Amino acid sequence: MTRRSHVIRALPLCAVFMATSSTGEASTQSTTASVKLIRTHDPLAGGTDGDWFALNGVTALGSCASFMGMIPIRIRDDSHGGRMLSQLQIAVTTGKMVSVVIDDTKTSQGWCLAQWVDLLP
């Protein structure tokens, strides 16, 4: 089988993937800013996924709920969330910006969850 025939056979699969992922991407939002606030909670007080952060100048992000003029973005209470929290703390310490992606259909206690956090150079 030639390389061209592999590509041609893969095209229908790519089309199916693009068609099924387009609806999920409609609610994906991203923004880049400096970190305004990081709040951590004891799970007994803040509940599961209770830690959150807010970004400077971000007052709207998709359909995410707002709180006191900020958009709280929740962080999962797991190892992935711990790594996101570390990235955010580094950003605060170094004064660097972060790029954040959320899917406003994925929430915790009504608040949007971070899908990923990039620490920018």
Q: Is residue 29 part of a domain?
A: yes
Give the pLDDT confidence of 10-58 residue by residue, as tens digits. 444 333 333 333 344 458 999 999 999 999 888 777 677 789 999 999 9
Total domains present in the chain: 1
Residue 81: give the domain boundaries. 25-119
Q: Is residue 18 part of a domain?
A: no
2 — pLDDT class (breaks 50, 70, 90) = low
Q: Is residue 3 part of a domain?
A: no
Question: Helices (H), strands (E): how many in the chain?
Answer: 3, 6
Domain CATH for 37: 2.40.50
Query: Please, where are the H alpha helices in the chain?
Result: 3-25, 43-46, 79-94
pLDDT of res. 8? 43
Q: Is residue 61 part of a domain?
A: yes
pLDDT of res. 20? 30
Q: Is residue 10 part of a domain?
A: no
Q: 3-class SS at 65?
A: coil
